[in-house]
Every structure is written in C-alpha cells, then in structure tokens.
C-alpha cells in the first residue's frame, strides 16, 4: 500500500489511534481531563456523487490574501495549468468538478474576507458561495449568524475521508459545525507545528538517533531536554551565550503553547453533549507545564525570545541550532540549506502517552465556510463535495508526495515523520475561539518566564468563562 493511500486512511483513523480516554494509559500525567478527539466510525468506502448539473452557473469563491510569505496558497482556484505540480492539481480538480456539475468556478481575493462576509450577509448579497479565511477569524462569525452550519447544507458527506475528521470532531459545538478542512485545501495544513533537526550537529554530538526515539516511543520531554542542554555550546568562547553560539533548541515564546499541545493538553475540552469547558488549570495540564517550563526557561538549552523570524532561519541553516520549530508555512527556505536536516513531531510528555500530537495554529490555519447570504445551498454542497472528493488524487497527492517528499524531505525517515505528524493533528477549540484572550496568554506567560501559572491564569479565568458561555448560548440558544 503506498503512502498516499495510507494517509487517506490515517486522517480518518487518527481519532481511533489517539482518542478514547479509556484506551490510554497516561500514567505519569493525571487523567482527570484526558484529551479526547470526537469518536467516529469508518465511513463507507464509496459515496455517490450528487446527481444533475447546474447549467453553467457561476460558483464563486472568496479567499484571503495577506501577502505574508508562505501563507497564501492558490489551493482553491487557479486560472490555468502552468507546469507547477500543485497549481496543475488544483486546475485538474476544478475542471473535473466543472464538467461533472456544469458549473463555472471563479475566485476573488480580499485582504479582509471576514469584513466581506459581514457586509454581504448584512446586505443579503449572494456575492460568494464559500469563503476561505483564518480559522480564528472565522469562528467568531459562527456565533453571530453570519455562517451556515454544514448540517444544513445538502449533498455533503461530512463523515467521508476527504474531510479532516480531527477538525470536524474538535470544532463543532452542540453538534453544529461552521467550518471544514480537508483534502480540498492545502492552507489548513500550513499551520501545523513540528521540529526540524540539523543532522550535521546531531552526528557531531553523537546523540541518539531522533528517528529511532520517535519509533521506540522515547521521544519525550525529558529526553528532549537532556539533548538540547547537551548541545548548547559557547562557540566564540566569550563566555556569553547569544545568537552567535550553538543552541540545542531555538523557538519563539509561543513554543510553550506548542509543547502543551504535543502533551495532548488543550485550552478546552468538550463534554458528552459536545459543549466545551475550560481545562487550562487541570492537574494534567499543570503537570505538563512543569516540564515545558524547564525546556523553555533553561538558558543552557533554549533560545529565541524576541528573535525575528529571519534569525530563526539563519541560525538553523548556519548550523547554530540543533532543533528549531517550524510551521509548514515557513519550512520552504530550508530547501537551500547546505547541511542535511530531518523533520520530527514535537516530543510527547512521557512514554506512556501513546500518540505524538501536532498542534495547529488557529491564526495561520485556514478553513472553509459558507456565508449566511448564500442562496444556493444545494449547489454549494455539491461543489464542495465534488472538489473535496476529486482532491484525493490531485491536490492531496501533489502536496504530500511531490511538494513535500519530492522537494523538501531528504530521507525516507522524514517522509514517515510527515505521515505521523499529519495523521495526529491536534485542533483545540479553546485556542480557536481564544476565549478571554487565553491563546495569547501563553505567549505572555512564557515571555515573562513566569512560573506560577495558576496565579497568572486567575487574571484571565472569569473573562474566558464568560466568553465561553456566550458562545455556547449562541450555538444552543440555552
């Protein structure tokens, strides 16, 4: 079975591999607020395409364009084939959909698509059928009647493997879902967090093979900490560790939140009624934070506080960092790196944790929504379904096999790591809604090198709880 077929299964099975609290043995981490992803069952292999056509009707897409390097991908529409693997895959996918459903797919861009949605919904204007924007910007629209819930859109098989079941299970509230992600796009995957490691440094230090550690389950916070502290060295001999020296780990202050996610913890979990509740100060989360603070605050292992993005890249590419964090939106420059590098998932809390989780930034990851002013839900559902299904052997294949494996990774092990990373994406509804500014709270906490999270969190708790309750009320009317 080839890697792409495996990935198709992994996206559906990720929940079963990582989810049920009863199946886990988090011995070293209290299980009071065990992280769970929504349970699901395997969908049937075959789905029928929607019948009929739409007589050449225009299907209008609106996408965000920020101009920020590495985040604007033409993954929903391109004007023509041009020889680029991803571009041509998108073009082929759309042509198939246009021919099958007799529609004409068109696209417009905006620097502020959420403002566009508010404007067209207020005016009752069917100016676009679907919109793609940052997840964190779209979710507030779901509580103000600006978006259509996907349960109200016909012709969509939401349980199918071409939709990201992790996202679907994590981002609904009371069974209502306002955004989707999956094979139809690449932009949802650009925000996934992982590690890169410099093979030249690793070989020079004769450290244990990180790939082997991942495979054996020993790629943990404790072992990671031991490696990074051993790797740091005063290269210029001036007695001061700075950006001219070699570091074990270079990461921004938000790295603390990334590591929290890799331990399986979230800002919020959901109860049996699919309603969220806050989990930032549970025993389990605090136990993980103790180890994360050790990694983030040890000046002999980690650097990166207030570093510009260019410095992260230049230090890693100049053999001055053993490990660096990445989002997949920013990994492309490493293609030109002289020394070999590898890709790894973030470490686990301990060996009892069964899965390696990869957090996704809600401020980078983009999802698809349907504005409430859409007057053609049947056609909209049919086009989304067709584009999503057709992406399995076009857009998805181009992204995983050709874009990443063919140009980025330099060894078979990194390809296996990509399977692992993309198969265990951790979506956090608490981070996505950012109730009470608690997602940004973690950056402030680690930037200050604060060690008393319980006290620090008290300044956010009431506001976060009030915002969460307001969201639940908007979804349920209760």
DSSP string, 193-240: EEEEEEHHHHHHHT---HHHHHHHT--BHHHHHHHHHHH-B-TT-SS-
Q: How far is CA 308 from CA 1, 252, 350, 365, in A?
A: 43, 9, 31, 21
pLDDT of residue 402: 63
- What's the full length of the chain, in residues? 478
pLDDT of residue 410: 66
DSSP string, 19-32: --GGG---TTS--T
pLDDT of residue 415: 78
Angle, CA 406 vertex, CA 390 and CA 246 arms, to 5°: 130
pLDDT of residue 204: 94
Report the alpha-carbon distance of residue 431 to residue 104 in Å, rounded: 36
Residues of the chain with pLDDT under 70: 1-46, 69-70, 332-333, 402-410
Q: How far is CA 335 from CA 71, 402, 466, in A?
A: 17, 14, 46
What the block records as the tokens of 249 is 């780990």
Report the alpha-carbon distance of residue 389 to residue 433 in Å, rounded: 29
pLDDT of residue 317: 92
Q: Any idea where the domains of the chain sit in the sequence?
A: 9-31+193-359+428-476, 57-189+366-408
pLDDT of residue 46: 65
Task: Domain 57-189+366-408: give its CATH superfamily.
Answer: Periplasmic binding protein-like II (3.40.190.10)
What the block records as the tokens of 214 is 């991942």
Q: If phi over 0 gives left and psi between -120 and 50 gives alpha, with beta otherwise, what is residue 219? A: beta
Burial-class residue 232 by CB neighbours within 10 Å (0-12, 13-18, 19+).
Answer: buried
Report the alpha-carbon distance of residue 13 to residue 290 in Å, rounded: 31
What the block records as the tokens of 403 is 């874009």
Is domain 9-31+193-359+428-476 annotated with CATH 3.40.190.10?
yes
CB atoms within 10 A of CB 62: 22
pTM higher than 0.75: yes
pLDDT of residue 38: 38
């Amino acid at each position: 079975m080839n890697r792409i077929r495996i990935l198709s299964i992994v996206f559906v099975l990720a929940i079963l591999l990582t989810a049920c609290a009863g199946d886990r043995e988090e011995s070293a981490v209290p299980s009071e607020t065990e992280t769970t992803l929504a349970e699901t069952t395997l969908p049937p292999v075959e789905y029928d395409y929607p019948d009929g056509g739409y007589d050449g009707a225009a299907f209008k897409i609106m996408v965000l364009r920020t101009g920020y390097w590495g985040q604007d991908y033409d993954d929903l529409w391109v004007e023509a084939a041009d020889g680029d693997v991803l571009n041509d895959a998108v073009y082929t996918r759309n042509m198939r959909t246009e021919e099958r459903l007799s529609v004409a797919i068109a696209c417009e861009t905006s620097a502020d698509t959420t403002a566009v949605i508010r404007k067209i919904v207020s005016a009752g204007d069917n100016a676009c059928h679907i919109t793609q924007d940052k997840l964190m910007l779209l979710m507030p629209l779901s509580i103000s009647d600006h978006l259509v819930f996907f349960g109200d859109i016909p012709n969509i098989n939401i349980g199918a493997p071409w939709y990201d079941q992790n996202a679907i299970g994590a981002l609904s509230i009371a069974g209502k879902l306002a955004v989707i992600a999956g094979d139809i796009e690449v932009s949802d995957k650009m925000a996934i967090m992982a590690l890169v490691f410099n093979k030249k440094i690793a070989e020079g230090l004769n450290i244990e093979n990180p790939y082997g550690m991942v495979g054996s389950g020993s790629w943990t916070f404790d072992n990671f900490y031991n490696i990074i502290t051993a790797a740091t060295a005063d290269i210029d001999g001036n007695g001061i560790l700075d950006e001219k020296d070699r570091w074990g780990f270079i990461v921004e202050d938000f790295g603390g939140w990334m590591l929290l996610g890799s331990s399986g913890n979230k800002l919020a979990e959901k109860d049996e009624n699919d309603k969220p509740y806050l989990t930032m100060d549970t025993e389990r989360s605090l136990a993980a934070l103790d180890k994360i603070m050790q990694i983030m605050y040890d000046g002999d292992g980690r650097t990166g506080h207030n570093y510009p993005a260019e410095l992260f890249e230049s230090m890693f590419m100049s053999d001055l960092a053993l490990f660096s964090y990445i989002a997949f939106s920013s990994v492309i420059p490493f293609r030109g790196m002289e020394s070999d590098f590898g890709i790894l998932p973030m470490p686990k809390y301990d060996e009892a944790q069964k899965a390696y989780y990869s957090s996704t930034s809600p401020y980078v990851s983009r999802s698809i929504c349907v504005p409430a002013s859409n007057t053609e839900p049947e056609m909209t559902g049919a086009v989304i379904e067709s584009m999503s299904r057709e992406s399995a052997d076009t857009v998805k294949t181009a992204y995983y096999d050709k874009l990443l494996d063919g140009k980025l990774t330099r060894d078979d092990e990194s390809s296996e790591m990509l399977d692992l990373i993309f198969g265990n994406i951790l979506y956090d509804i608490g981070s996505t809604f950012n109730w009470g500014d608690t997602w940004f709270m973690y950056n402030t906490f680690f930037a200050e090198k604060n060690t008393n999270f319980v006290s620090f969190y008290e300044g956010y708790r009431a506001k976060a709880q009030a915002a969460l309750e307001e969201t639940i009320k908007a979804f349920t009317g209760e």
